[in-house]
Amino acid sequence: MVEPASRPVEKSLDSATGLYRVRIISGQYYACSANELVSTVLGSCVSAVFWDAEKGIGGINHFMHPGSCPSDRMRANTPGVAYYGQEAMSELLERMKSLGADCGNLTIKLFGGASLRSEKDDGIGAKNSEFAKKFLSQKGYTVAAADLGGPFPRKIVLNTETGKVMVKRLRSIQRQQIAAQEISVFDPSKR
Amino acid sequence: MKITPDEMVASVSNLTTFPAVALRIDRALADENFTVDDIGDILETDPALSVKLLKIANSAYYSRGVEVDSVSRAASVIGSRKVRDIVFTQCATDTFKSFPNDLQSLDDFWNHSLYCAVAAQEIAKQLRYGGDLSLYTAGLLHDIGQLVMFTQYPDESRRALEISINQTDGTSPHLGEIEVFGFDHTAVGASLARQWNFPRALSECIEFHHAPGACSAELATEVAIVHVANSTAVLAELASEEIEDAPEIDPAALGLLGLDTETIVEIAAKARAEVDEMVGVFN
């Protein structure tokens, strides 16, 4: 049921729009210079959206934990997977750079960090949000827009050509499922 | 999946009947000659409900300083129609209290149901609806099929929810259900409503709240109200003022009721405030 982040991102051609639809899950990040629609579903996790308007390059990550990955071995064993904010942010910036983005000229938006009111909710959503904001301000970036916190999960869709992000709040009917996935997909205490 | 809505309902052993007291009150109210004493007589057959109504009649909200000590007096203080709404709420939550599931907490389920009930009631009020159906009750019970589905087939239901989030914008879980089961929670709810001998207006509101155009012509108003109230309830739940956040509303249903989206946003805010207060009273 739970999908590992080490699997490749899901990508399919949408016949209606002729655009590629990409779906990323927690631990994954994605960037591209083509016109694609990248979606992800967030509970207490946070996504940062980076966009270079001039070059038309967009990127998005999806991390579960603030700070950086405590295990060197895990990091080495799962290259390209970033459950922690530190890696999710730095690796996405690197990926953007490698695609030719000017990282001094990025529009940045933040999403997620909800408080899902599940039993295991220990304010992780707020901590993830704080981490993202602090990381960015330390690097000298400003956040153009943010939709963080609240009790609602969100589904966001980034259009990598226009940099526009559609945010859809999700109902309680999906909350428990999203919370359960976020907890079970990766529990550092069990590694 | 090779199962029908009727088979799904039949597989649940503790759902064979809905408390008779609720349906008797509903029938009594449809009779133009009913009196509060009739309501009192019916209520007295259910001691737990009688106690509850006495408590409510003597609460700060209704009390006029004189102690209410008979059930028919309580019915007169609270109002017969309000009594019916309270009785249905109590009977429904009691009936389903042994239906916990991992997909949605019962609190979340009833919260959405109450938003829908209050929104439906408010729409009916604005339209000066004069029929026999309690739109509150119809709103309250519109999703009961989902509880049966979630409890009996959790894995398949989870898959249906996943489909609705990953392939669409998540506002229409019933489309995922159709993909997995071949039918959705409205069909299960309708099957349950038939088994419980619900009045036809109530059954059709449950059965067609996602497809208002498919109901009987003479119940088009009632079904349209619950359809719109369901979307209104989602706005209330999400504390949103953007109509795009709600499940899409059938333009024909909206036209039939003569409502605009601005009014719906207002009703959503009202339902949110009212239910938040009400949940305090019921707990």
With H, G, I as helix, E, B as strand and everything else as coil, classify residue A168. strand
Select the residue from B102, B104, B109, B240 to test the A interface by mutation, using most A Cβ atoms within 10 A.
B104
Which residues does chain B have within 8 Å of residue A174's beta carbon, measured at their own beta carbons? 161, 164-165, 170, 173
Cβ of B169 within 8 Å of Cβ of A168? The answer is yes
Structure confidence at residue B103 (pLDDT):
85
- What does the pLDDT read at residue B112? 94
For residues A8 and B257, which has the higher predicted lDDT (pLDDT)?
A: B257
Chain A residue with minimum CA distance to B170: A170
The whole-number pLDDT of residue A188 equals 47
User: Searching chain B, which residue's CA lies closest to the CA of residue A1?
Assistant: B159
Nearest CA in chain B to A38: B166
Query: Which chain A residue has its CA at the smallest distance from B163's CA?
Result: A174
Q: What is the pLDDT of residue B208?
A: 98
Q: Average pLDDT of chain B? A: 92
**Predicted local confidence at residue A2, as pLDDT:** 60
pLDDT for the residue numbered A1: 45
Least confident of A87-96, A132-141, B65-74, B98-107: B98-107
> Which of A23, A170, A172 is opposite residue B112, by nearest beta carbon?
A172
Residues of A in contact with B111 (CB under 8 A): 172
Q: Which H or E run contains A39?
A: strand A36-42
A117 touches chain B (CB under 8 A): no
**What residue has token string 């029938």?**
B27
pLDDT of residue A117: 67
Indicate the pLDDT class of residue B107, thresholds 50, 70 and 90. Answer: confident
| C-beta separation of B68 from B58 below 8 A | yes
Average pLDDT over residues B111-127: 96
Predicted confidence band at B282 (pLDDT cuts at 50, 70, 90)?
Answer: low
| Residue-wise pLDDT tens digits, A40-75 | 999 999 999 999 999 999 999 999 999 998 888 887
Of B102, B166, B240, the CB nearest to A23: B166
Query: What's the gap in Å between the CA of B103 and the closest CA on chain A?
Result: 6
What is the least distance, in Å, from the CA of B217 to any CA of chain A?
31
* Maximum C-alpha span of chain A: 45
A134 to chain B, any CB pair closer than 8 A? The answer is: no
What is the C-alpha to C-alpha distance for residues B178 and B36, in angstroms, rounded to an integer? 44
A4 min Cα distance to partner chain B (Å): 16
CB contact under 8 A, B161 and A155: no
| A-B C-beta contacts closer than 8 Å | 55
Residues in Cβ contact with A86 at an 8 Å cutoff, skipping those fewer than 6 apart: A67, A68, A69, A135
User: Can you give the pLDDT at residue A120?
Assistant: 57
- Residues of chain A positioned with their CB less than 8 A from the CB of B158: 1, 177
Q: Is A45 on the interface with B (CB under 8 A)?
A: no
> Is pLDDT of B283 > 80?
no
Q: Does A176 touch chain B (CB under 8 A)?
A: yes
CA distance B161 to chain A (A): 7
| pLDDT, position A81 | 87
Q: What pLDDT sits at residue B281? A: 53
- The residue to which tokens 């949408």 are assigned: A14
Rounded Cα distance between B79 and B77, Å, is 6
Alpha carbon of A170: minimum distance to chain B alpha carbons (Å): 6
User: Does residue B279 have a pLDDT over 70?
Assistant: no
Q: What is the ipTM of this complex?
A: 0.74
- Nearest-CA distance B164 → chain A (Å): 9
Please answer yes or no on whether B161 and A170 come within 8 Å at the CB atom: no
> Do B165 and A41 make contact, defined as CB atoms within 8 angstroms?
yes
Among A30-39, A41-50, B164-173, B273-282, name the one with the lowest average pLDDT: B273-282
Query: What is the distance in angstroms between the Cα of B107 and the nearest Cα belonging to chain A?
Result: 10
What's the pLDDT at A191? Answer: 39
Q: Which residue has the higher pLDDT, A107 or B17?
A: A107
d(CA A23, CA A32): 13
Please name the member of A41, A169, A173 whose beta carbon is closest to the beta carbon of B240. Answer: A169
Which residues of chain A are under the pLDDT cut of 70?
1-3, 117-121, 180-181, 183-191
More confident residue, B218 or A74: B218
Which residue on chain B is closest to A173 by alpha carbon?
B104
Checking B16-23 for CB contacts under 8 A at 24+ apart, the result is: B16/B195, B17/B196, B18/B91, B18/B95, B18/B196, B18/B197, B18/B198, B19/B46, B19/B91, B19/B94, B19/B95, B21/B45, B21/B46, B21/B49, B21/B87, B21/B91, B22/B84, B22/B87, B22/B88, B22/B91, B23/B196, B23/B197, B23/B198
